[in-house]
Structure 1
Amino acid sequence: MKKSTYTTVIQQIIRYVLFLHFLIPSTHAQQLKENWVKRYVNSIINDTTHAEQATLTIYPTFATSPETGIELGASIMKLFYAEGDTLNRLSELQAFTFFTFKGQYGLVLENAIYGDQDKWFFLGETKIQQFPLLYYGIGPNTPKHHPASVNSFNILFRQRVLRKISRNLFLGPEVDYQLISGVRFDQPSEGDPYPIPAGGEGTSNLGMGMALVYDDRHNVLNVRKGRFGEVAYLRNFDGFASDYNFGTLNVEFRSFHPIGKRDVLAWQIKGNFLQGEVPFNQLAQLGGDRLMRGYYLGRFRDKHAIAAQVEYRILPFAFSKRLGASVFAAAGAVAPHFNAFEARNIKGTAGVGLRYLLFPKKDIYIRFDIGFTKEGANFYIFNGEAF
């Protein structure tokens, strides 16, 4: 057979193989892809892994809040027990990236890692964001109309490295680094312009200190029983990796009480107290999707803030395996000095929510909350409880 004939035969064979590979099995390949997606979704929703096995879950996310509008993204979550021992606490590592139709985007990393027999506890978060927000000014009685818009690039890194000193009690250093750059204040078209606050042209600050933490929760993702408390003091020194000289005292306490087989009563008290010249982005704030739901994030900000909330969760309803609900209320205030808190400046919020059990084995819910205030209502969709 001539060489050209061999070449022709080989070419025909290659064409035939390609035809079989790309054309004939195309429907089958699509079916395989669809089946794989179905199997993956089923593996998430109906987790069949053993309790002691580490799990890595990747899933798309959808959220909405008054700060972001519609938010699309993806989340990677790893859950594991130290040494594969379920007598240890469940540790969580989560990476979340998002973008919104308001031009916001970012990456959020969260960790709550418990060592074997709780000898070590690593608790922290990292945020890298391009995140325009509304700015209402500083103080307890800022007007709700005509806010400025602040567009900036932000980095927040907060990490605690804690050592167990007795049962459920941890002590260790804490680091807090915050950067805001490329700041652009867009003044409102109506009303008086806002004075540019400290840090309004960009700033970076490194705070270092100590944290004392009490924690007897076994599962931080959806706490049904337990308590968490923290007292931390951080200091920023002008000229030592910081542009401003100020101190921060953070105090927080959370408590969770099971009611019957499904319900949970949860409450939280939180205080932030700062001294010195503080950049506006690190002032104590009220509002957002976690505490004082219904108010815009940073609707009120000042050097001191105290807030508390209570929530009753039905997880899930008695007639459903996946649907649940909640009712919540909160109150808080900001002030320029600790002795300047006044009852007339206390702001209140209340709301209701629906819950959908997304991952039964991991007891993780999607929450749909609506918070009501004197200034109106805001709607939130997020994975996991507010606190």
Structure 2
Amino acid sequence: MKLKLLLTLFTFLIGILAYGQEQDTTKKVNLAAIPFVNYNKTLGTTFGAMTQGFYKVNKNDTISPSSSSGIMGLYTTNKSYFVAAFQRLFLNEDRWRILAAIGFGNFNYQYWQDLPLIGGTFIDFGTGAKFAFARVERKIYKELYGGVSGVFSKTITDFDMPDFVPDSIRTDTRNMNNLGLILNYDKREHQMNPYGGYNIEIKNEFYRTWLNSGNNFEKLELTYNHYYKLKNERNILATRMKAIIATGDVPFQGQSVVGHDDIRGYSSGKYRDNQVYAIQAEYRWRFYKQFGAVGFAGVASAVNNFGDIFSTEVLPGAGVGLRYLMIKKERINIGIDVAKGKDDWGLYFRIGESFGR
């Protein structure tokens, strides 16, 4: 019943947005203001909205992709909320790329824990956070970019534990500040929705006490995305491999969770650890004018270290989705996905395609 309701809502929104869709390519700003609805077993139903404007910083710069500014907010039926503003800039014939964001929120979530006598069970927790993020990249040679990133974040995590558990264990307050180094080889022919090419990104984040972070540890992220035009721009195969590797004194907040774009279909937070590895593929088919569909499948693993990857369980995820090309000039799609994982599932209303955000 919920799936039918969301599909009806998606069709209704398309009718509204199609009327207001940007058709005048001479306009300085292409604006998208989009409500969205998601659902998963942990957060419940999510209601939100995002407004994003696309524009050229320099109208004479025909090489740089469009820059964008936006704000978003969401609220869920389990009383989680999140608000953020973000800015993406492409400057000087795409020699400089800048991404910045600031926001705050609180998410009521859960994780899976094996306890003595009780066995495996979900433990509820809530994490409140305030954060500021910046990432700056400079073209080094042809399609190779190098850069730095930084995150300043304060989190407060409250675990739903019995009253006899000390407050020092039930509540965890810490800063999660880091500095990162980035290498990105980008052969994509478009930033938002590529029809061909690939990009390989290496990002290494350092959490240190001298940055006022609560723990000393590192997080290495390796990403490889490849896009294949099968017949024409209406038939695209996108593939993705992702590894997130945290080492050192990794806190609970520094662990990675299987879910989101890697892999859709997991929303309960059961599978989390210091390292997550995922591989998946997605077929994108625009079958009629601005309407399209996608099908995707992949597998992931959450492990403490790489040596465990061959002995831990494999987590499959697969699903389908609908798309509508809202702004042709910017290749901006809106859509809804439904995905099934192991003992889990989720609905995702999305702005933009997976693998590109």
* TM-score clears 0.5: yes
Partner residue of 1:78 out of 32, 53, 66: 53
Match in the other structure for 1:106: 82
The equivalent position to 1:285 in structure 2, one of 247, 257, 260, is 257
- Quote the offset at 1:268 in angstroms: 1.0
**Which residue among 86, 105, 112 is the counterpart of 1:136?**
112
Give the match for residue 266 of structure 1.
Answer: 238
1:380 equivalent in alignment to 2:330: no
What TM-score results when the alignment is normalised by the length of structure 2? 0.83
CA distance in 2, matches of 1:239, 1:287: 31
User: Which one of the candidate residues 316, 321, 331 is aligned to 2:299?
Assistant: 331
Superposed, which structure 2 residues align to 1:1-387 within 5 Å?
Answer: 44-50=20-26, 53-66=27-40, 67-84=42-59, 85-137=61-113, 146-181=121-156, 183-187=157-161, 201-261=172-232, 262-288=234-260, 290-296=261-267, 298-314=269-285, 316-317=286-287, 320-387=288-355
Greater share of helix residues, 1 or 2? 1
Instruction: Provide TM-score, normalisation by structure 1.
Output: 0.77
Gaps of 5+ in 1: 1-39
Runs of 4+ with deviation above 6 angstroms: 193-199
Query: What residue in structure 2 maps to residue 31 of structure 1?
Result: none
Q: Secondary structure at the match of 1:132?
A: strand
Q: Secondary structure at the match of 2:253?
A: helix
How far apart, CA to CA, are the structure 2 residues paired with 1:236 and 1:376? 32
Q: Which runs of 5+ in 2 are unaligned?
A: 1-15
Distance 1:173 1:82, change over 3 A: same
Contact between 1:136 and 1:144, CA under 8 Å: does it hold in 2?
Answer: no
- Matched residues in 1 for 2:146 and 2:165: separation? 42
Whether contact under 8 Å (1:44, 1:57) holds in the other structure is no
Q: Distance in 1 between matches of 2:330 and 2:50?
A: 15
Matched residue type, 2:241: I
Equivalent residue letter for 1:73:
G
Q: Is the 8 A contact 2:333 2:352 kept in 1?
A: yes
Deviations 1:210-243 (A, max 9, x none): 1111223343322222322211222112253111
Per-residue displacement from partner, 1:96-123 (whole Å, max 9, x unpaired)?
A: 1222232122113344321122221113
Partner of 1:30: none
**RMSD between aligned alpha carbons?**
3.0
Contact kept, 8 Å, 2:155 with 2:176, in 1: the verdict is no
The answer to whether the Cα contact below 8 Å between 1:56 and 1:76 also exists between their aligned partners in 2 is no
Identity of aligned residues (%): 25
Q: 1:310 to 1:127 in 2, by over 3 A?
A: farther
Secondary structure at the aligned position of 2:25 is classed as coil
Q: Name the structure where strand makes up a greater proportion of residues.
A: 2
Contact 2:161–2:170 under 8 Å retained in 1: no
How many residue pairs are counted as aligned between the two chains? Answer: 334
Residues 90 and 321 (structure 1 numbering): CA distance in 2 closer, same or farther, change over 3 Å? Answer: same
Query: 1:144 and 1:129, CA in 2 relative to 1: closer, same or farther beyond 3 A?
Result: farther
| Cα deviation, residue 254, structure 1 | 1.0
Larger Rg: 1
How big is each residue's C-alpha offset from its partner over 1:328-349, in whole Å with a ceiling of 9 and x where there is no partner? 0111112112222225422111
Are residues 231 and 41 of structure 1, via their aligned partners in 2, closer, same or farther at CA, if it must alter by over 3 Å?
closer
Write the letter of the residue equivalent to 1:116.
N
Q: CA deviation at 1:127?
A: 4.1
Distance 1:380 1:260, change over 3 A: same
- Distance 1:118-1:58 versus aligned 2 partners, 3 A rule: closer
Aligned to 1:5: none
Task: Report deviation, 1:166.
Answer: 0.7
Separation in 2 of the partners of 1:146 and 1:217?
43
- Say which SS state the counterpart of residue 269 (structure 2) adopts: coil
CA distance in 2, matches of 1:196, 1:300: 26
Counterpart of 2:159 in structure 1: which amino acid? F
